[in-house]
């Protein structure tokens, strides 16, 4: 029988943790033992995986000892990864970390498997592979085929995001639903907000994560820095990240500026995008066909549409990218990393 891998999921009761189990099931990942971990609050709860029930255990420093875990997915926030990832590594697991904590560390690979699978090799340095920010993943999946098509001659990308509340986990989704219920009960003005800085129902919030000294937010700077680490590029990126009252799946408007000597050919761009793995072009404006969150949700595909050349400059292309942030932007990317890691281990 071929080898099976023992898998721990830290944050097993969260939005991304639950989705990791779903993606593992669907992808027929060769799992052996399953260890769901969360905070003391959830210890004793059960999760169902492939028709079997598994008890959620509390994450502690010693929980990995003697469990023979091969792969530990971490999705319980940066401070949890900062404290506990090392114990999983010490116990012999590779950590695939969904938080921003390790992403920019030089000896830790930051991987989107369709783009830089070769970087996974670097996992041996630290035992950790970082999963990029959700908005970054779907953006680089749309950028990479165009970057390759024009020989790396992308100079600048300006991006505005329209990010779903699922990015703030289950509490973000619950807060939007509760506020909508309060709106229909005529008591929205009494509704509380904890997951977001402001009311999110019937609103948009132009701030995701903490302010930075340069006037950008931490989420925006993740998109700037992570893009170039994943693509091994030197592209000027400017991001405006906005939370919108959508339950799930992020949208992004991208303006891509190529070098001055490039005259963008929209048809060639469309072809390059449609041939790229896990990317689908959905672009028939006359028929009102373009990607939207309700199209992307529950899929593993990054959808691209509204592809058009700038009205004033030959070297500028505009497009619209939508993907399910919980899957493409987190769980699916993490499981794809694990699949590639297994291939390396088997060599
Ligand atoms: P719990 O359900 O016990 O709070 P989401 O991103 O949907 O908010 O989910 C966060 C996940 O991270 C949950 O599974 C949550 O578990 C888990 N978590 C949060 N804080 C800790 C912690 N200190 N130790 C372990 N797991 C944690």
pLDDT at 345: 84
Q: For a pocket test of ligand 1, which of 42, 76, 171 has the largest count of ligand atoms closer than 8 A to its C-beta?
A: 76
User: Is residue 134 among the annotated active site residues?
Assistant: yes
Q: Residue 41 CA: which ligand 1 atom is closest?
A: 3
Q: Residue 101: which of 132, 123, 124 has the closest Cα?
A: 132
Burial of 69 (0-12, 13-18, 19+ CB in 10 A): buried
Residues of the chain with pLDDT > 90: what percent?
A: 98
Ligand 1, atom 27: closest residue by C-alpha: 39
The answer to whether the CB of 134 is under 6 A from ligand 1 is no
Mutating to test ligand 1, I would choose from 8, 10, 13 the residue with most ligand atoms within 8 A of its C-beta, which is: 13
Query: Ligand 1 in contact with 167 (CB < 6 A)?
Result: no
Give dist(CA 36, CA 315) in Å, integer: 49
Q: How high is the pLDDT of residue 152? A: 98
Please give the structure tokens belonging to residue 94.
Answer: 């590779």
Does the C-beta of 82 come closer than 6 Å to ligand 1? no
Nearest to 13 by CA among 44, 79, 193: 44
Which among 205, 231, 234, 232 is positioned nearest to 219, based on CA atoms? Answer: 205
Q: Average pLDDT in the 241-267 region?
A: 98
Q: What is the pLDDT of residues 137-150, one digit of tens each?
A: 999 999 999 999 99
d(CA 158, CA 238) in angstroms, rounded, equals: 5
Nearest CA owner, ligand 1 atom 23: 39
What is the rounded distance in angstroms from the CA atom of residue 109 to the CA atom of residue 296?
Answer: 27
Residue 1 has pLDDT above 70, yes or no: no
Percent of the chain with pLDDT over 70: 100
Can you tell me whether residue 326 is helix, strand or coil?
A: coil
pTM of the model as a whole = 0.97
DSSP 234-251: --EEEEEEEE-S-SS-EE
pLDDT digits (tens, 9 = 90+) for 50-77: 999 999 999 999 999 999 999 999 999 9
What is the pLDDT at residue 347?
Answer: 72
Mean pLDDT score across all residues of the chain: 97
Alpha-carbon distance 91 to 102, whole Å? Answer: 19
**10 CA distance to ligand 1 centroid (A)?**
8
């Amino acid at each position: 029988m071929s080898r099976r891998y023992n898998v721990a999921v830290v944050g097993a009761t969260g939005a991304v943790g639950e989705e990791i189990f779903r993606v593992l099931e669907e992808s027929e990942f060769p799992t052996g033992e399953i260890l769901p971990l969360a905070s003391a609050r959830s210890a004793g709860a059960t999760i169902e995986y492939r028709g079997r029930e598994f008890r959620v255990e509390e994450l502690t420093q010693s929980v990995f000892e003697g469990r023979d875990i091969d792969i530990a997915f971490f999705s319980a926030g940066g401070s949890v990864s900062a404290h506990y990832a090392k114990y999983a590594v010490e116990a012999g697991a590779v950590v695939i970390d969904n938080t921003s904590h390790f992403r920019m560390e030089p000896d830790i690979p930051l991987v989107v498997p369709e783009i830089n699978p070769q970087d996974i090799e670097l996992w041996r340095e630290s035992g950790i592979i970082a999963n990029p920010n959700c908005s970054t993943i779907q953006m680089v999946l749309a950028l990479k085929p165009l970057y390759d098509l024009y020989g790396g001659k992308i100079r600048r990308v300006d991006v505005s995001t329209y990010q779903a509340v699922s990015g703030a986990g289950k509490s973000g989704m619950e807060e939007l639903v509760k506020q909508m219920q309060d709106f229909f009960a005529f008591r929205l003005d009494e509704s509380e907000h904890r997951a977001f800085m402001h009311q999110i129902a019937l609103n948009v919030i132009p701030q995701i994560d903490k302010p930075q000294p340069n006037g950008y937010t931490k989420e925006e700077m993740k998109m700037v820095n992570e893009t170039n680490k994943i693509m091994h590029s030197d592209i000027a990126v400017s991001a405006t990240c906005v939370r919108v009252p959508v339950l799930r799946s992020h949208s992004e408007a991208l303006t891509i500026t190529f070098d001055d000597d490039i005259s963008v050919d929209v048809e060639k761009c469309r072809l390059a995008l449609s041939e790229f793995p896990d990317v689908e072009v959905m672009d028939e404006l006359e028929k009102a066909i373009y990607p939207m969150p309700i199209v992307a949700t529950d899929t593993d595909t990054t959808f691209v549409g509204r592809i058009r050349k700038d009205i004033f400059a030959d070297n500028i292309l505009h497009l619209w990218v939508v993907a399910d942030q919980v899957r493409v932007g987190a769980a699916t990317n993490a499981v794809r990393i694990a699949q590639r890691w297994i291939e390396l281990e088997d060599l």
